[in-house]
Amino acid sequence: MSTLRLVMLGTGTFAEPIFRALLGQARHSVVGLVTQPSNEIGAVRGSTRQTGVGMAELARQTGVEVYQPESINTPEGVARIQEWKADLLVTAAYGQILKAEVLQATPLGGINVHGSLLPKYRGAAPVAWAIARGESETGITIIRMSTGVDAGEMLAKGKLEIQPHETSGEVEARLAQLGASLVVDVIDQLGSGPVVGEKQDLSQVTKAPKLTKEHGAIDWSKPANEIACLVRAMQPWPTAYTYLHRAGHEPLRLIILKSESASGSFGPSGVLRVSSDAKTIEVATGDGILRVLELQPAGKKRMLAQAFMNGHPLHEGDRFSPV
C-alpha cells in the first residue's frame, strides 16, 4: 500500500470528525487544509456551516498548514495544492464546486464525503431535505469528484436510520462519524491501486438545494406530518417559523422547535386551541393537527408551549400564519 499525501477541504461540524479521522490514521499524511475564511464561517449559515472547534484550529493543533482563500478555483489555489505535492483531495462540506483545474492538481483527483444515499439528494443540504421529505433512512456516499454537483462515481456507501424526532443537526452529527470511518477505508483502497466506482443512476437523481430563511416558513395548509418533518429539518438553521396573530396585538414571530402530528381536525388551517392537558398548542392544518411542544418567541429563549401560553393566553380567533 502506498502512503498518500492528503489535502482536506471542508468547513463546519460535518467536516470536523472527518478531518480528525484523517489526522488520526497512521498510513497516510495530511499535508494541508483548505477551509473557508474565518470571517465567513458564521455569516454563511446553514447546517453544514455550524462551527465546533473549527477546522483551522484543528489543523494548527496538529501542525497542518492552513489555506483559507475566498475561492480555491484560482491559479493561486491550484498552485498552493501543487506546492503541497498532494496525491489526493478529500472534501466534506467545503461549500465550493471544484473546477477541473483543481481536481487535476493531484494525481488521484479528489473524493467527497456526501451526506446522502446518492443519487438522491444531490446538493448543499441533503440531510435537511431528506428529513423534510419524510425519509426514514439516509447515509453517506463517498464519491470520486467530478465537475458536476455530486455527480461522480460512487466508491462506498453506508446507511443510517433517521429516528422519528431527530433534527438535521442531530442526524448530520451521526453521519459525520459514519463518513469518517468510510473515507479512511476508501483512501486505503486508493493507496493500494485503482478503484472502480459505480455510476449513479440518473433516473433516480433528486435535488437538495442550499437552504434559505424562506424555506423555514410554515404553510399551515400542508398536512401536519409534513409540517412536523419541516420543523425537524430546519434545525439548527434556518429554523421553522410562523407568526401569531391576535386581536389587538402586532403579529409575533415564533420559531417552532419541537412538534408532533396527530389525527383529527377542528377548524381552518392555522387556527389554534389549547390541548386538553393545557400543555401544548394545537394547530389545525390541511390534514391533521400539529401539536407545538416547544417554541421561541422573537428575541426570547426557547420555552415549553405551556410556559409561552402562561404569558400569552390563547383566545378564540387566534391563529398562526406564515406572514
Dump pLDDT digits (tens) for 9-64.
999 999 999 999 999 999 999 999 999 998 654 444 443 445 578 999 999 999 99
What type of residue sits at position 193? Answer: G
Mean pLDDT of the chain: 94
Model confidence pLDDT, tens digit, residues 257-294: 999 999 999 999 999 999 999 999 999 999 999 999 99
- Judge contact between 98 and 106, C-beta under 8 A: no
Give the three-state DSSP class for 13: coil
Domains and CATH numbers, the chain: 5-204 (3.40.50.170), 213-321 (3.10.25.10)
Alpha carbon 122 to chain centroid, angstroms:
12
Start-to-end CA distance of the chain, whole Å, equals: 60
| Cα gap 268→246, rounded to integer Å | 16
Model confidence pLDDT, tens digit, residues 192-241: 999 999 999 999 999 999 999 999 999 999 999 999 999 999 999 999 99
The answer for 239, left when phi > 0, alpha when psi is -120 to 50, beta otherwise, is: left
Which residue shows C-alpha cell 398548542? 281
Task: Give the CA count within 13 Å in the CB-facing half-sphere of 274.
Answer: 14
Determine phi and psi for 138, rounding to 5 degrees.
-145, -160
Quote the cell numbers at residue 47: 447546517
pLDDT at 87 over 60: yes
Which residue shows C-alpha cell 482536506? 8
What does pTM read for this prediction? 0.94
